[in-house]
Structure 1
Amino acid sequence: MSQGRIVKANGIELFVREQGEGPLVLLCHGWPELSYSWRHQILALAEAGYRVAAPDMRGFGRSQAPADVAAYSIFDNVGDMVALVSALGADRAVIIGHDWGAPVAWHAALFRPDMFTAVAGLSVPPPFRGRARPLDTLRAGGVENFYWQYFQTPGIAEAELERDVALTMRTMLARGFSDPQSLFVAPGKGFLGETNPNLPLPAWLSESDFADFIAAYRASGFRGGLNWYRNIDRNWELTAPWQDAQIRQPSLFVAGSDDAVIKGIIGAKRLQDMERVLPNLTRKLIIDGAGHWIQQECADEVNAALIAFLREVAPVR
């Protein structure tokens, strides 16, 4: 895998890992992750005949982290990917996202179908724009302790997560968010809840890979990624023109059956109804027993699904 380089795009500097030649594929990671989260896919997709580019997204890792909270809207994050395609000398790409990267990929396909000719989302279903702002909807439903709400006030989550970065990353990556209750913050417990410094790493995460995540977050802190959550209501306002819009390009969805994001009342409904938004969904792959960090945990199955999809939508000449 390439060591990466800095690419100027959309007024900021993005650190990008690149490998391979052929049709361009962008890989958008989520929170709290990095381009490194795609290490297994970068190699496999490049070997399958694709030019792969995986950025540290805005605010993460070695990419720039603007100070203004408002600089992390869905328009900014999609704008980075549009500008990155151009900066790489291309005019079209297949875009793939996991976790927060999935909404970026879905919206990129929605906003720029001319550029993003196909789209895959991992873990997070496509956008269903509700009739009210998401945080207002939570409050109206009597919910006050969802993690989105806890992340809103700048400084609070940063202080908790940065107190012991190694413990934070161990807790989040090893726990895997299989229990929907893990997305709710118990009073006085913080987002991490009960932590265990001796929690064993999962089989899919080596000590050296884990050390890379720790080093990156010690250097960057968590503010940039948390600012994405601070634009949730603003994103709802900005996307008003796309109410009930469909993503008509060929699409793929992959998730683990034990991922809290597709369970519970909201997640299960979004999983069930995604064909309303994705009329050209080619496959909905739910990997039995897998958790949230799907492209790392089930690299072989995810790679096979992505390569099969790419061969359909962007055949290698």
Structure 2
Amino acid sequence: MDSLKDKLLNVHEFETLSKKMLQKEINDLGKQLLEKLKMNSFVHHRNFLAAFMVFKFPYDVMHTLDNTTNRELYNYSCKLMETEYDDEKELRSDIIKFNFCFKKWKGDDGKVLKEQLFNEYHQLGVDIMNTDDEDRKTIYKLTRDRILDCSHKVGGEKFIEEIMSYKPVILNKDDLMMQYNKAHNDLLCEEFDKGDYTKTKQLFTFIKNTCLQFHRKEDHGDIDDTIDVDFIMNRIKNNAYSNSEYVTLFRYMFSLIRAIQSSSNDELLESFVNEMDTDPVYVPRVLIQMVECIKNLVKDLENLKNEFTEKAN
């Protein structure tokens, strides 16, 4: 805890601290502390590290301390930062209290749990499709069954129906062209401007899942940590992002796409990145540009697949 305080509490600018929170070193320190306290299985390190942001810049994060939820969250962040902990039990207790308040601030804790179960179930579906190892497939399928059992206890039959009715994204060029066409993009912008972020969240999730599907397993932890969709959406709703923070986040996301696409598409992607250096970031436009890059990626993959098919014949 002391090493994190040394590295983060002497930062006096919101944007600087936001960037430091994305650094691997800081995330690793958070993970290590939670592992040492045996809390890593039920407290996400990003939630814990948010205590530093809340403590240093409460009005940038929450805008107001005039309601009970925000005041509780701020008070617990102060307790964590201002206490010299000699007793690990007390530190554990305060982290748990902050974590509960943070989840409450982000949204109902039951809702958070449901989203985690929902995403885990469908991510395992992607894993099943991406492996030829029958033993792994069996393990993944058994794990999905256990997730369904847990989901039933949390949300009953209605939640099970919600999970089962969702069709996971299968990357197909024609489907992408139909789903993310001009009409969809116009509606995305219109709803975003009115404060309806449903389609924005769907696009963030789609882009994240695409990156997870194509990147190595070793990279998944960093991708999950940085593209924390619930955390991102909460900050968007609270107008908590500065332009430079958006640039940092989106540069990272573009870099993930660049790493998996053909070099022939790099020039287009780079032009999208350079736009952010000259124009204020407009979230829907950047997400639409990322989908355009993903369409090109899928097109290249289909062409490659067709080449192999022709050679085989």
State the TM-score, normalizing by the size of structure 2.
0.27
Higher helix share: 2
Structure with the greater relative contact order (CA < 8 A, sep ≥ 6): 1 or 2? 1
Higher strand share: 1
